[in-house]
Structure 1
Amino acid sequence: MPCRGTPPSPRYFHSCCLYGNKMYAYGGYSGSERLADMYAYDFETNHWSEVDCTNGDCPSGRSSLVAQVYENSLYIFGGYNGVHVLNDFYKFRLKPVSVPPPALVQDLQKLINRPELCDVTFLVEGKEIHANRAILAVRSEYFKVMLFSGGMRESIQMTCGGSDMDSDYSPPIELKDVSHPVFLKVLEYLYTDSICDTSLEVGVPLLIASERFMLDRLKALCEDNIRREISVENVIGIFIASHRHNAIGLKDIALEFILKNLNDPTVMVG
């Protein structure tokens, strides 16, 4: 593996533990002495660095020790110093504070289709889907215009009490030419910037919807998912759909697949 920085000196019978994106190596035997130094290897940067473990009570040089990470600290127990078998116990704090992993995407996803947390309702295939105006507007120019610059202005005024109607009432916005599961996928992308578990049956309609709602990244994600499922049975349909909806990358992939399989009668039949 590529290595940068200053790697530890040659040794064996040392400890080795993983924490986050780093590997920590402590102690060991060089062939002539028991070592008492610690090094960290960062898997993201391929960089070795020495860890200062001289603060406070430090273990003496040793080999054949036991080390284990728990929460945000490294614990070292026992070992052999060349004369005695040891039974001392040490703790190194690897981080001043244990920070939980980010959860923003998961939390935002919980907002999708939650009526009690949403302020706009869409009607798709006769079913209501609930969302948040602000999130849709900042993520999509299409929805920004729809919700804040067009026909929705009257609904906003009604919500603010500019009508005799119930102040909590806002009529749903009917969306045509898009299916219920496909629009839920559109919202999944708008809230999380990704899509998952997209079959070919959903991928092509989602590609069409991404063009309608002017979501270039979603369109590219759809193209990438669809290309993985291209076969002699469906390539003609995919080629036609990509041509109609200006999915140039997918169209090129489909055309290349067709040219490679010209002798297959299934492709020609389409």
Structure 2
Amino acid sequence: MTSANIGNSQISEFVQILTLLHSSSAFPGVANLGATLSEQLLHLFDQQKYGDIVFYFESDNTSVCAHKFVLTGRSEYYKTMLMHGSMHESKTGHIVISKDIKPDTFKAFLRYLYSDKLVVTISLNLLIELLGLCHRYREHKLFRKIEFTIIECVDSETIYDILKAAHFYEASQLSHFCKDQIIRKYWNPSWDGLESYTKTPDCPLGLLPLEMQAELKLRRDKEVVSQQLKQKP
């Protein structure tokens, strides 16, 4: 099958889905309410109607259906997987999700692909898991959106775990924000005299990677010198 034929097939499938969306029998109570296309597509996903791709979760032996035209149109990762005729998943329409990915995390990812929105009530832990999923799938747009969403969750209790996750998943915007907040807002002056953060149980800096501890210490030292210079007459 040529790339042109694949494109025509996807367009034809999309038109068929749109027709279903606007038929009262397939989509009762929504088409007449002025719902946006993304809202209608999300409803279609939530109702699990007309899916042609099935994701199987190894973690709990459950599954969820999705639509190939949404996956290939919204995700480069799944576009590569499903539009490549030689790949097993493109032939069977069956995709196994490994045990390290929780169903709720992956479903939140799918809902974003359908609606271009994050679930409003999503927890911090799920956000961090979703950040990791986007890092794995190279979903840059959602990755950046999650970074800025997590920033809203930063406080004195969460900042160190968030910074560790930001470092691990190479979330530069989130990492930069957390480091600035630690230096400007959360630094305890009693930490200045410590020889080792790691060996001090009540110092949360010890939870961070050693290279990050060194970076923060260097920034703090510069901050102290700067403050001392400002205080000189």
The interval holding the TM-score normalised by the smaller chain is 0.5 to 0.7
The residue identity in structure 1 corresponding to 2:124 is L
Q: Residue 152 of structure 2 is aligned with which of 228, 241, 249?
A: 228
The residue identity in structure 1 corresponding to 2:101 is V
Report what 1:186 is aligned to.
109
Provide the secondary structure at the position in 1 that maps to 2:41: helix
1:121 has 2:46 as partner: no
Shift of 1:113: 5.0
Question: Take 1:240 and 1:173, find their aligned partners in 2: how far apart are those partners?
Answer: 30
Question: Take 1:268 and 1:142, find their aligned partners in 2: how far apart are those partners?
Answer: 36
1:248 has 2:183 as partner: no
1:105 has 2:38 as partner: yes
Question: Take 1:221 and 1:205, find their aligned partners in 2: how far apart are those partners?
Answer: 14
Report what 1:142 is aligned to.
77
Matches within 5 A, 1:11-50: none
Deviates more, 1:110-119 or 1:242-251: 110-119
Question: Take 1:117 and 1:148, find their aligned partners in 2: how far apart are those partners?
Answer: 19
Provide the secondary structure at the position in 1 that maps to 2:44: coil
Question: Take 2:158 and 2:206, find their aligned partners in 1: how far apart are those partners?
Answer: 10
Q: Indicate if the aligned counterparts of 1:112 and 1:130 stay in contact, CA closer than 8 A.
A: yes
Report what 1:133 is aligned to.
68
Which structure has more relative contact order (CA 8 Å, sep 6+)? It is 2
Residues 134-179 of structure 1 deviation map (CA, whole Å, 9 limit, x = unaligned):
1100111100112221222332xxxxxxxxxxxxxx5x32111311
Provide the secondary structure at the position in 2 that maps to 1:233: coil
The residue identity in structure 2 corresponding to 1:152 is E
Shift of 1:114: 4.0
Report what 2:97 is aligned to.
175
Indicate the percent of aligned positions where both proteins have the same amino acid: 24
Report what 2:88 is aligned to.
151
Provide the secondary structure at the position in 1 that maps to 2:188: coil
Shift of 1:266: 5.9
Provide the secondary structure at the position in 1 that maps to 2:45: coil
Question: Take 1:121 and 1:100, find their aligned partners in 2: how far apart are those partners?
Answer: 30
Residues 21-52 of structure 1 deviation map (CA, whole Å, 9 limit, x = unaligned):
xxxxxxxxxxxxxxxxxxxxxxxxxxxxxxxx
Residues 117-141 of structure 1 deviation map (CA, whole Å, 9 limit, x = unaligned):
1011001222101100111001111
Gaps of 5+ in 2: 1-31, 190-201, 208-233
Q: Indicate if the aligned counterparts of 1:113 and 1:131 stay in contact, CA closer than 8 A.
A: no
Question: Take 1:135 and 1:127, find their aligned partners in 2: how far apart are those partners?
Answer: 21
- TM-score, normalised to structure 1, is 0.54
Q: Indicate if the aligned counterparts of 1:198 and 1:225 stay in contact, CA closer than 8 A.
A: no
Question: Take 1:148 and 1:231, find their aligned partners in 2: how far apart are those partners?
Answer: 43
Question: Take 1:218 and 1:202, find their aligned partners in 2: how far apart are those partners?
Answer: 14
Highest Rg: 1 or 2?
Answer: 1
- TM-score, normalised to structure 2, is 0.62
The residue identity in structure 1 corresponding to 2:105 is V
Q: Using a 3 Å threshold, how does the CA distance of structure 1 residues 207 and 218 change in structure 2: closer, same or farther?
A: same
User: 1 or 2, which has the higher strand percentage?
Assistant: 1
Provide the secondary structure at the position in 2 that maps to 1:121: strand
Provide the secondary structure at the position in 1 that maps to 2:146: helix
> Which runs of 4 or more aligned residues in structure 1 lie more than 6 Å from their structure 2 counterparts after TM superposition?
none
